Amino acid sequence: MLQILLRRTSGNLSSLNCTYAKHLKYYTTGVKKLLETSDVESNNKSTTQYATESYPNSKPTDGQLAKQLEITRLVWHPSPSMKKDEILGHYKKLSKFRLTSLVVITTMAGYAMAPAPFEISTFVMCSLGTGLVSAAANAINQYHEVPFDSQMSRTKNRVLVTGKLTPLHSIGFAVTSAACGIGLLHFGVNDLAALLSAANLFLYTSIYTPMKRMTILNTWVGSVVGAIPPLIGWAGCSGSLDIGAYILCGLLYAWQFPHFNALSWNLRPDYSRAGYRMMAVTNPDLCRRTALRYTFAIGLLSFMAPVFDITNIWFALGSLPLNGYFCYLAYKFYQHSDSGSSRKLFRYSLIHLPLLMAMFLLCKTHWIFMENADKEETSTNYSQSKSDKIANKLSNLTSTVLITSRDDTNKLLPLIPSTKAN
């Protein structure tokens, strides 16, 4: 695996160096042409000569002359262009901002669902750290896949493919983001959250990315990558993982298959041209069956949550129509296998996940502030009952002492001489 990564890295660097050398050649040639033209008159003369050579049988019009004059006056900029007003946009595209946002949202959901006190500082650092690590993983992924992204219509305009950022710049961004993200999780949250984040970074960049061109098992590995962020949030809040965290992780893991299989179905020409081993390309029947099976798995996991006292029974009942329609769209995709059914399944998956997570949060059984209120009430009642018991014991002891002293007094009275007898 390491040899494959090194070979691919060297191939990426050689192809990118050729691209940048080509851009530099164009740049130097353009600068030379611009310096050779001393004034507008010489530009017009060369433009007229070019137009005459291009159109020997016709006189060039004013529009053609103006167009050629504008071409000779082009301001040449090196590629990549590092303008300050564009660099933030390049970083946003390099980190796959929408995908990173989804990772952060699922991490927040895992934090909020954990049965532990909610701390705003830990919540912010956990979300920010996970987002930085996700951005680093996406930057490394794009660095490795430049030659293949250039062959796909969906990815041919990425910043590394078009040369808007250099490979060294992207690696520097990835290393900085990963170090800051894991550092935030380690020092600001806990060791378990940092360990899960680092493991997910390695799994995505060093196992999932090369597996995409080797075997269709990459989809299962990629689903594990997508299911770990809620575990990071859960661990960041409670400091440990329990059955509730694994059920939430299972829901995210199962959701990946109908979501990605429906997406990849309409991208089969691109994946095939770039050489990616996807189920939709190599085994379409398995692609349809897998999407259908895992939608039923989502329904089963939703019913398991109240069984293990993670949520109440209303979560299972409320998610039934949500999951039922998901299964229906997956069955239509399995039955028809066309672009329309796959597009409907993909779009509904984008709605299904946030609704299911919100329902999971609203129906969870262990709300920490409610448990604290019950504990305070119980302790108050216990202290009151204890003080009542102590007061009762003191009153009983006092009454016993008074009765005993009265009896002793009555016994001593006959021994005291009477004043009347004297």
d(CA 255, CA 229): 14
Helix residue ranges per DSSP H, 152-308: 167-188, 191-202, 209-211, 218-238, 243-265, 268-274, 279-282, 284-307
Asked whether 254 and 301 are in contact (CB, 8 A), the reply is yes
Q: What does the pLDDT read at residue 292?
A: 94
Work out the widest C-alpha separation in the chain, in whole angstroms.
Answer: 167
CA distances from 83 to 79, 88, 96, 164 (A): 11, 9, 20, 10
d(CA 10, CA 234): 39
d(CA 230, CA 248): 7
Q: Determine the angle formed by the axes of helices 218-238 and 243-265, rounding to 10 degrees.
A: 140
Q: What does the pLDDT read at residue 387?
A: 54
The 3-state secondary structure of 18-51, one letter per residue: HHHHHHHHHHHHHHHHHHHCCCHHHHHHHHHHHH
Collapsing DSSP to helix, strand or coil, 241 comes out as: coil
The 3-state secondary structure of 63-106, one letter per residue: HHHHHHHHHHCCCCCCCCCCCHHHHHHHHHHHCCHHHHHHHHHH
d(CA 227, CA 221): 10
Collapsing DSSP to helix, strand or coil, 406 comes out as: helix
Residue-wise pLDDT tens digits, 188-210: 999 999 999 999 999 999 999 99
pTM of the model: 0.70
Asked whether 180 and 132 are in contact (CB, 8 A), the reply is yes
Minimal CA–CA distance to 134: which of 164, 190, 177?
A: 177
83-240 fold: Tetracycline Repressor; domain 2 (1.10.357)
Which portions of the chain are predicted below pLDDT 50? 24, 26-27, 31, 34-35, 37-58, 65, 69-76, 369-383, 401, 409, 412-413, 415-416, 418-422
CA 383 to chain CA centroid, Å, is 47
Q: What does the pLDDT read at residue 419?
A: 42
